[in-house]
Every structure is written in structure tokens, then in C-alpha cells.
């Protein structure tokens, strides 16, 4: 028996924890994973691990995971060769574009597209050839307002200031639950220890959330907020900083601050209190506490992105950090300096250069908001979408009005999915192309090193050999690109393996050739626990990519939205509002097929305050019917005093009982899909991001 230890990062979520993986090679059983543990020697995660990483071995062995191309034949699936698959896909897509124009093929890229490096480096090698304006991704059910804000204020959508959690004295968290999510747009393995360390140095953690979340439970202060009320709270906080003279001058080059001061003047704590359901005295005190801390940072995530004022919220968060002197300051919000620097090497972005055909939503960085996807397929006319390519995504469960998405998918002439499973979305595909699994791949994290609370770098070699006849994601894109280019007889630029691209990025980057670190794939290979490149440092002034090289504090596109906030009516106390949540044993829609993660009691109940149950004569544990403008679902309700009265919570990513889904374990604990209730018309007005939180619903006995 041959045992080997391997060290590599987990890239299932943004925390990129270092793992120690043991493989065992036995003559009879062959090579297998025998254990997965946290790596205490990892320079960044220091041994932290969560249950999802242990499930990597279940992904590896899952009999439901596809290993070869699958072509639909009626209601059934047939395994075919890669050559046949590439040829079939290329011909279908080519024919549809010939008949209806390039935009007739749409693309949706899901969340693993930024977690798996072959998808990062090569998806565009093929998708770019399609030259379609109908490109969509999970970005617009997630962090789009953050990219847009950074693009408009700092000139690059990836110049995202990250909380300097290890040095701050005061962390104000809105709409994020890092204890469950392990951090987001803040790569922070081991977040609980780091939050407790703030408290250990006499600092303070404050959480604003309509639910007493796991993070709120360990915070020094938890403030309940009506869902969608954050723009009101944040504008009142900024107003208080200005009106009470709590500004702290900084040295950053800024344009437009006087305009902001003037625009925010009417948004006093007293005026905003009814909109967010927080007492004006609490708001003012929060602003004073924040300003009084030597080093403070305001951080907002999913809960404030995916709501009707998502962009306004993220702009206000930037301004609160800026005006209080905490932007680009140690212990405040800092931009990273990653080893492969996408900010330095890519263009800043563009916004509203074109709009979606049916609802006129703006593109950002070449993508349209995914809330518009179904109508682009369903509404007939010039430019209608007739074919879809999905890449590592499950829009039926993850985008608003999932039932409408399903109707749209069933109307398509052709659908290609690059995915590991026959799930709620890919069951509509004509062809599914599965890639190798995570442990059969190399990996370098270009995305999450860019968002990390320390500058770190590591390169992972594959742990398991590539199975015979399998292809990596990047090879699938190369195969598709070649077959498609052959039909269009346009020349195809040569490409290289992802590792070579990363090697070039590392060598040319700030820690590459000529620097003390001399990073390359080869030098990183000598550091299996990763290389620590030091804490974040102030650098924003030198990284700005605006035309003026100055921060634009008052972009008109965002400033104009203040008017919409001013016209908001006070929250209707009797209206139930639906929000989402995450659990540490779950990962969006796709990790429910692993016994290790789903065992025990179900975790997908609807949470409701006992007073709200009583008001409706409902009982804890009962099945209820939840309805919104777009549809209804049935689910079990659970009494929960952690909920703010008037607010209910349901996690997304469930609803696996649909016919034809081939994920046995997931289907046996199906749950209901919250996105059968979320509304494709309820959007952040500035960016078009879906407002998945704060959905008006009714609940009755089922």
C-alpha cells in the first residue's frame, strides 16, 4: 500500500483554504483519496477547512457525475465521442447563427466559471467566436453592483477594496454572513477567528441583517433591518458623518465630493429611519462609533447587492469608507496587489454600450443582466435567442422566475451545456459536455487572490491522473473552438495550456522576474503550502484607472438613483418580505448530491418568526404555500426567533424534484426553489442586477 500526501487549495468557495490530501494506491483498488484535512502549514488558511472540502472525494466518486459527452435522444441520453460532440455542437450553433444572426445564440456562465482556472483562461477562446451580445452570467444575480461601482468610481470593475480584517478596530457588515459563506469579495479563510481577533484587540463587529445570522450571533451588536432598507440606512450614516463633522480628510485624489455632500443632505437619520425600520438614534450612534474608531471598515455583500438599491448601497459603502478616512488605509478598505494582476493587464470595463432587446437593460463588461434572459428567448422578433450555451451554471435554480426560465429553455432550438451533471437546467440541453473533476485539474486562483485579505499566491498540481478519454474544461473549449472555426473558415489564434498562461502572468507580475519573490509556476511548485506576499497596503492612488486618475465620488448614473430612494414609501409593516440564506454544508445549487453534506435533518425550511406564524394560525413544522407575483411553492415552515418579524428566509439552490434530474441524493431531499418566487422584474435600477432579497410574498397553510 502506497500512501502519498498532497497539498493544494480548495477552490469550491472563495476562501481558497489549503488542504492536506492523502491518496492511497493499492494494487487491487487502484488510486483513491484516503483523507482530506486542513493544512496547518498553509500560509493563509492555517489549517481551516469546512465540510465541503471533505466532500471533494464524493464529487470524485459520484456515480451521477457525467464522464463523457451525453447527447439527448428523445427523453433519454446517449454517450457519444468527443469528436462527434464538437462537430454536432458547432454545426447546430453555426446553422442557428446563419439563419437568425449572431445574437440568436446566448451564453450563460455560472459561478464555477470564476473558481476553476481552465474556465477562466479558456471559455472565451470558444465563446468569443460566437460574437453574440446575448451574454449572461451569475454576476447579475450576485456582485454586479460592486463591479459597476468600482468601474465608475475607480475606473476598473476589479478594483474592489477589501476589508483589512486583520488590522481593523471596527467592522460594520451589511448583508453578508461570512460564518456561513466563508467570506465573499473578501477571501478570508478562517473568518471566525479573524472576527474574534478584532474583538480580542478591543474592537467591535456590528452586523446589519434582517436575520440574526451566525455572524450576527458572534457580533458585538446586531441591528435588524427591513429587507431593502440598506440604502436608507447607509445614506443616513453618510449624512451623519457630514452633518456632525465626523469627516476625516485623506490624501486620495477625489472629484465630486462636494456634489455628494449636497445630494446627501436631505437623507437625515430621522428621514431615513422609517424606510429601514431602524431608530434614528441608533443610526446616529452607529455613525459616531464608526467615526470614533481609529481604523474602521464598512463591508456589504450579497444581501445588499441583490436588492432594489444594490448599486446605491455599494456606492454609499465606498463613500462611508472614503469620508471617514478609511479607504485605502491600513485597517480600513484596501485593494490587493495580486501576483497575477488582472487590474493592471485588462481594460477597466464598459457600461450601457448596448441594451437587452426586450427590456432595455444595460450591458456591463459585455454582459447583460440575466433577469432578461428568459424574455430574450420567449419574445419573438428580430434578434430573438434560439440557442443557449450554459457553462457551469444552473439558471433554473439560481436566477429569478426559474419557472419562466424553464419555459424558455424548453422553447429553444438547441442547447449546449458544459457541466458535470444532468440537473434542473442541463436536463433541457441537447448535448452535455462534462469536464474532469477538481482534483484531476491544475489550479491557480486568478480571481480570489485578487480579493484576498492578504496578498498570497499558490499553484496546485492535479492530484489524480486525468482519466482515459476525459477532457479538462479548457480542452473542451479548444475542441469547440476548432470545430466552430472550421465551419466559419475564420483563422483561429493558437492557444496554450492554462499553466503556461499563468506562468507568463506570474513572471510579468509584480512579484515575478526581477523581484525578490521571482514567482513562476516552477518557483511556486517549491512552495506547496503557498507563498505569503505580505499584508495589503495602501495602493489605490497608483492603481486608479479613471481617465482623470482621480476617484469619481459622484458618478451621475448612481447619483441620479438617489431620487428613487427619496421617493420610497415607508416600509409596510404587514407585508411579509422574503430573503435568502446560506449554510456552510451547501454550495449554491450543486452540492446537494453528496451524502456527507446533506445527511442529518434538512436545512432548507422556510424560517419565520413565531409572531408571524401565530398571526396566520400556522404551526411550526407545518407545510405552507408561499406565493409571490410570479409563482408559488410549498415548503415546511420552521419557527425561528432569529428572524425579524415580517421577514422570512429560504435558501436558494433547492428544488431538485424536477423530472429528469439525475442526481439521486439531491432529489431525495429536494426542497423548493426560492427562485420560483423571485421576480425577474424586481431589479436594481442602475445595474439591472436581480433583487433576490426583499420579495413581497404571502404565506398560507398548504
Ligand X SMILES: Nc1nc2c(c(=O)[nH]1)N[C@H]1C(S)=C(S)[C@@H](COP(=O)(O)OP(=O)(O)OC[C@H]3O[C@@H](n4cnc5c(=O)[nH]c(N)nc54)[C@H](O)[C@@H]3O)O[C@H]1N2
Tell which positions 26-85 bind ligand X, by CB under 6 A.
Answer: none
CB of 541 to Mo ion, least distance (A): 30
Confirm or reject binding of residue 127 to ligand X (CB under 6 A): no
Which cell is 116 given?
A: 476553476
E strands of 202-345, at which residues? 204-208, 221-223, 254-255, 296-300, 333-334
Supply φ then ψ for residue 286, to 5 degrees: -60, -45
Bridge pairing between strands 70-73 and 431-433: antiparallel
CB of 306 to ligand SF4, least distance (A): 20
Bridge partners of 649? 579, 607
Among 89, 104, 304, 480, binds ligand X (CB under 6 A): 304
Query: At which residue does the C-alpha cell 466552430 appear?
Result: 484
Q: Are 224 and 660 in contact (CB under 8 A)?
A: no
Confirm or reject binding of residue 140 to ligand X (CB under 6 A): no
Confirm or reject binding of residue 235 to ligand X (CB under 6 A): no
185: exposed, middle or buried (Cβ count in 10 Å: 0-12, 13-18, 19+) = buried
Tell which positions 150-169 bind ligand X, by CB under 6 A.
Answer: none
Among 153, 540, 674, 691, binds ligand X (CB under 6 A): 674
Name the residue nearer to ligand SF4 (CB basis): 180 or 272.
180
- The CA distance from 559 to 575, in Å, is 29
Q: Among 396, 421, 228, 375, which residue's Cα sits nearest to residue 307?
A: 228
CB of 372 to ligand X, least distance (A): 15
Confirm or reject binding of residue 39 to Mo ion (CB under 5 A): no
Residue 49 partner contact from Mo ion, ligand X, ligand SF4, none using kind-dependent CB cut-offs of 5 to 8 Å: ligand SF4
Residues 6+ apart with CB under 8 A from 622: 636, 637, 701, 702
Name the residue nearer to ligand X (CB basis): 155 or 395.
395
Name the residue nearer to ligand SF4 (CB basis): 58 or 376.
58
Query: Which residue is at the shortest CB distance from Mo ion?
Result: 142
Confirm or reject binding of residue 393 to ligand X (CB under 6 A): yes
Tell which positions 131-170 bind Mo ion, by CB under 5 A.
Answer: 142
Name the residue nearer to ligand X (CB basis): 252 or 657.
657
Among 589, 628, 682, 687, binds ligand X (CB under 6 A): 589
Which cell is 495 given?
A: 492557444
Bridge pairing between strands 162-163 and 333-334: antiparallel
Overall residue count recorded for the chain in this entry: 702
Among 39, 419, 430, 680, binds ligand X (CB under 6 A): 419
Name the residue nearer to ligand X (CB basis): 336 or 675.
675
Which cell is 522 given?
A: 516552477
Q: Are 177 and 209 in contact (CB under 8 A)?
A: yes
Q: What is the DSSP string of 314-382?
A: HHHHHHHHHHTT-BTSTTSEE----SS-HHHHS----EEEEE-TTT-PEEETTB--GGGHHHHHHS-ST
**List of residues contacting ligand SF4 (CB under 6 A):** 10, 12-13, 15-17, 49-50, 52-53, 182, 189
Residues 6+ apart with CB under 8 A from 292: none
- The CA distance from 244 to 443, in Å, is 50
Which cell is 288 given?
A: 459616531
Number of residues that bind ligand X (CB under 6 A): 63
Confirm or reject binding of residue 14 to Mo ion (CB under 5 A): no
- The CA distance from 38 to 484, in Å, is 43
Q: Is 4 helix (H, G, I), strand (E, B) or coil?
A: strand
- The CA distance from 232 to 214, in Å, is 24
CB of 617 to ligand X, least distance (A): 26
Confirm or reject binding of residue 505 to ligand X (CB under 6 A): no
CB of 145 to ligand SF4, least distance (A): 23
Confirm or reject binding of residue 612 to Mo ion (CB under 5 A): no
Tell which positions 191-230 bind ligand X, by CB under 6 A.
Answer: 208-211, 213, 225, 227-228, 230
Q: Among 158, 252, 196, which residue's Cα sits nearest to residue 447?
A: 158
Confirm or reject binding of residue 189 to ligand X (CB under 6 A): no
CB of 174 to ligand X, least distance (A): 4
Tell which positions 101-120 bind ligand X, by CB under 6 A.
Answer: 110-112, 116
Residue 693 partner contact from ligand SF4, ligand X, Mo ion, none using kind-dependent CB cut-offs of 5 to 8 Å: ligand X
Confirm or reject binding of residue 190 to Mo ion (CB under 5 A): no
> Helices 230-243 & 257-264, crossing angle to 10 degrees?
110
Among 250, 332, 505, 580, binds ligand X (CB under 6 A): 580
CB of 146 to ligand SF4, least distance (A): 20
Give contact residues for ligand X (rule: CB under 6 A). Answer: 13-14, 110-112, 116, 138, 141-142, 174-178, 180-182, 184, 208-211, 213, 225, 227-228, 230, 301-304, 307, 392-395, 398, 418-421, 423, 435, 473, 579-584, 586-590, 652-653, 674-675, 678, 692-694
Give contact residues for Mo ion (rule: CB under 5 A). Answer: 142
Amino acid at each position: 500500500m502506497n500512501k502519498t500526501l498532497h497539498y493544494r487549495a480548495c477552490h469550491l468557495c472563495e476562501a481558497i483554504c489549503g488542504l492536506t490530501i492523502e491518496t492511497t494506491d493499492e494494487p487491487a483498488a487502484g488510486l483513491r483519496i484516503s483523507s482530506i484535512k486542513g493544512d496547518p502549514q498553509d500560509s493563509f488558511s492555517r489549517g481551516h477547512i469546512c465540510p465541503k472540502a471533505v466532500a471533494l472525494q464524493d464529487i470524485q466518486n459520484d456515480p451521477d457525475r457525467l464522464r463523457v459527452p451525453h447527447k439527448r435522444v428523445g427523453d433519454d441520453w446517449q454517450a457519444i465521442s468527443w469528436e462527434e460532440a464538437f462537430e454536432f455542437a458547432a454545426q447546430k450553433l453555426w446553422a442557428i447563427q446563419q439563419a437568425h444572426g449572431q445574437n440568436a445564440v446566448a451564453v450563460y456562465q455560472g459561478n464555477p466559471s470564476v473558481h476553476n482556472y481552465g474556465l477562466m483562461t479558456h471559455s472565451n477562446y470558444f465563446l468569443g467566436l460566437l460574437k453574440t451580445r446575448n451574454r449572461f452570467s451569475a454576476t447579475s444575480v450576485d456582485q454586479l453592483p460592486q463591479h459597476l461601482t468600482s468601474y465608475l468610481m475607480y475606473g476598473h470593475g476589479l478594483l474592489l477594496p477589501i476589508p483589512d480584517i486583520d488590522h481593523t478596530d471596527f467592522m460594520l457588515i451589511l448583508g453578508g454572513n461570512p460564518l456561513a459563506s466563508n467570506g465573499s469579495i473578501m477571501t478570508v479563510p478562517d473568518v471566525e477567528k479573524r472576527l474574534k481577533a478584532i474583538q480580542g484587540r478591543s474592537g467591535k463587529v456590528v452586523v446589519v441583517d434582517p436575520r440574526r445570522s451566525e455572524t450576527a450571533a458572534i457580533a458585538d451588536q446586531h441591528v435588524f433591518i427591513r429587507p431593502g432598507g440598506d440604502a436608507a440606512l447607509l445614506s443616513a450614516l453618510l449624512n451623519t458623518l457630514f452633518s456632525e463633522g465626523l469627516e476625516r480628510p485623506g490624501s486620495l485624489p477625489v472629484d465630486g465630493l462636494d456634489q455628494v455632500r449636497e445630494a446627501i443632505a436631505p437623507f437625515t437619520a430621522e428621514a431615513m429611519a422609517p424606510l429601514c425600520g431602524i431608530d434614528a438614534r441608533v443610526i446616529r450612534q452607529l455613525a459616531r462609533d464608526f467615526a470614533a474608531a481609529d481604523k474602521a471598515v464598512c463591508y456589504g455583500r450579497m444581501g445588499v447587492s441583490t436588492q432594489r438599491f444594490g448599486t446605491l448601497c455599494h456606492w454609499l459603502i465606498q463613500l462611508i469608507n472614503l469620508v471617514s478616512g478609511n479607504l485605502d488605509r491600513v485597517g480600513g478598505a484596501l485593494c490587493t496587489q495580486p501576483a497575477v494582476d488582472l487590474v493592471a493587464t485588462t481594460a477597466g470595463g464598459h457600461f450601457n454600450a448596448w441594451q437587452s432587446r426586450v427590456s432595455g437593460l444595460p450591458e456591463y463588461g459585455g454582459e447583460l443582466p440575466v433577469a432578461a434572459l428568459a424574455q430574450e428567448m420567449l419574445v419573438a422578433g428580430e434578434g430573438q435567442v434560439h440557442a443557449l450555451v450554459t457553462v457551469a451554471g444552473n439558471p433554473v435554480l439560481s436566477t429569478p422566475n426559474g419557472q419562466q426560465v424553464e419555459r424558455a429553455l424548453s422553447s429553444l432550438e438547441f442547447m449546449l451545456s458544459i457541466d458535470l451533471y444532468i440537473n434542473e437546467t442541463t436536463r433541457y440541453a441537447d448535448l452535455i459536455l462534462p469536464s474532469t473533476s477538481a482534483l484531476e485539474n491544475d489550479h491557480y486562483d486568478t480571481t480570489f487572490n485578487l480579493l484576498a485579505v492578504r496578498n498570497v499566491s499558490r499553484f496546485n498540481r492535479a492530484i489524480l491522473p486525468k482519466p482515459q478519454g476525459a477532457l479538462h474544461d479548457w480542452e473542451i473549449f479548444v475542441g469547440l473552438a476548432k470545430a466552430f472555426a472550421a465551419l466559419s473558415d475564420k483563422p483561429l489564434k493558437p492557444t496554450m495550456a492554462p499553466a503556461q498562461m499563468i506562468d507568463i502572468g506570474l513572471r510579468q507580475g509584480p512579484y515575478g522576474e526581477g523581484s525578490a519573490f521571482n514567482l513562476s509556476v516552477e518557483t511556486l511548485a517549491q512552495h506547496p503550502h503557498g507563498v505569503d506576499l505580505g499584508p495589503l497596503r495602501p495602493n489605490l492612488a497608483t492603481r486608479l484607472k479613471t481617465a482623470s486618475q482621480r476617484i469619481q465620488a459622484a458618478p451621475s448614473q448612481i447619483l441620479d438613483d438617489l431620487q428613487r430612494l427619496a421617493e420610497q414609501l415607508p416600509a409596510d409593516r404587514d407585508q411579509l418580505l422574503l430573503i435568502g440564506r446560506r449554510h456552510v454544508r451547501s454550495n449554491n445549487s450543486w452540492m446537494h448530491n453528496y451524502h456527507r453534506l446533506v445527511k442529518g435533518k434538512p436545512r432548507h425550511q422556510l424560517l419565520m418568526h413565531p409572531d408571524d406564524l401565530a398571526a396566520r394560525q400556522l404551526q411550526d413544522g407545518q407545510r405552507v404555500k408561499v406565493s409571490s407575483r410570479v409563482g408559488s411553492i410549498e415548503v415546511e415552515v420552521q419557527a425561528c426567533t432569529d428572524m425579524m418579524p415580517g421577514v422570512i428566509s429560504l435558501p436558494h439552490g433547492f428544488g431538485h424534484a424536477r423530472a429528469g434530474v439525475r442526481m439521486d441524493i439531491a432529489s431525495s431531499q429536494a426542497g423548493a426553489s426560492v427562485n420560483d418566487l423571485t421576480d425577474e422584474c424586481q431589479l436594481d435600477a442602475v445595474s439591472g442586477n436581480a433583487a433576490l432579497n426583499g420579495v413581497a410574498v404571502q404565506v398560507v397553510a398548504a
